[in-house]
């Protein structure tokens, strides 16, 4: 325990509005940025998505809420000799598929051990990142070649594709009221209020199942300006 003098020195060093700590869940270490009091929550779950990391870190200096940012810089998290994708662990079925796909040479026992670790941590991680009732969770992701809004159209409940020429930049919302507001922007937006039939273990699917207000802001890796613009637009228009 620090004595009072050390505590005062530490808090003078780090302004009280900007409190940090580094929890570790299932081998995933997070940096936690807290700024003021708000129901807003933010998440950077893929460490290799450096544009999203930079956009969120800068955003938290001027906006209130709590952000969790993965500290590693790789997409997948190692546990022993195995790896897993931290955005495919939010259901057991999704985690099982992902672990199988990423660890072809592992034994059933090894995969089961990792699944049990994730089972143990799942509820704790959900409690850490999900906002208080009625609050909004904003996740930031970057994509490179391949994945785009076009992959989400067929499994979405509604779409507003005003910038189809730039399909890598889009927002995915789980709440119809948030979608209705976001659809007034010039950005691509999709609504997934009902969880897509295939359980991929993603956080967006869990948010849809639990009725949590969630928006994923996707931008091409390197497209800082567009990701920042989407986040700013959302911040100004969506209710707390």
Residue 32: strand pairing partners: 21, 68
Q: How far is the CB of 150 from Zn ion (least distance, A)?
A: 17
Structure tokens at 12: 């003078």
Q: How far is the CB of 73 from Zn ion (least distance, A)?
A: 13
Structure tokens at 50: 């450096």
Question: CA geometry: angle at 69 spanning 183 and 216, to 5°?
Answer: 15
CA distances from 140 to 37, 81, 169 (A): 21, 28, 11
Nearer to Zn ion, 131 or 220 (CB): 220
Nearer to Zn ion, 89 or 183 (CB): 89
Q: How far is the CB of 141 from Zn ion (least distance, A)?
A: 3
Which of 234, 237, 202 minimizes the C-alpha distance to 59? 234
Nearer to Zn ion, 46 or 168 (CB): 46
Footprint of Zn ion on residues 34-63 (CB under 5 A)? 46
Nearer to Zn ion, 46 or 88 (CB): 46
> Is 168 one of the binding residues for Zn ion (CB under 5 A)?
no
Q: How far is the CB of 53 from Zn ion (least distance, A)?
A: 11
Nearer to Zn ion, 183 or 192 (CB): 192
- Residue 201 to residue 45: CA distance in whole angstroms: 13
Place of tokens 């089961």: 112
* Of 111, 141, 213, 226, the one binding Zn ion by CB under 5 A: 141
Number of residues interacting with Zn ion: please give it, by CB under 5 A. 2
First to last CA, the chain: 36
Residues that bind Zn ion in the complex, under the rule CB under 5 A = 46, 141
């Amino acid at each position: 325990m620090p004595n009072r003098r050390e505590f005062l020195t530490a808090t003078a060093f780090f302004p009280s509005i900007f409190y940090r700590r580094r929890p570790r869940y299932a081998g995933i270490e997070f940096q936690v940025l807290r700024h003021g009091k708000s129901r807003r929550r933010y998440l950077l779950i893929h460490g290799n998505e450096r544009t999203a990391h930079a956009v969120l870190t800068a955003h938290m200096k001027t906006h209130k809420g709590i952000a969790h940012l993965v500290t590693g810089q790789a997409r997948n998290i190692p546990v022993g000799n195995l790896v897993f994708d931290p955005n495919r662990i939010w259901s057991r079925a999704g985690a099982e598929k992902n672990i199988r796909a990423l660890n072809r040479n592992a034994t059933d026992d090894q995969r089961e051990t990792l699944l049990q670790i994730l089972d143990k941590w799942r509820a704790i991680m959900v409690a850490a990142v999900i906002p208080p009732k009625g609050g909004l969770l904003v996740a930031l992701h970057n994509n490179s070649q391949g994945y785009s809004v076009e992959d989400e159209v067929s499994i979405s409940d509604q779409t507003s594709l005003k910038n189809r020429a730039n399909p890598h930049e889009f927002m995915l919302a789980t709440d119809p009221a948030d979608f209705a507001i976001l659809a007034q922007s010039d950005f691509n937006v999709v609504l997934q209020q009902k969880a897509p039939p295939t359980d991929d273990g993603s956080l967006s699917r869990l948010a849809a199942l639990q009725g949590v207000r969630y928006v994923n802001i996707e931008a091409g890796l390197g497209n800082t300006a567009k990701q920042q613009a989407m986040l700013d637009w959302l911040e100004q228009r969506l209710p707390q």
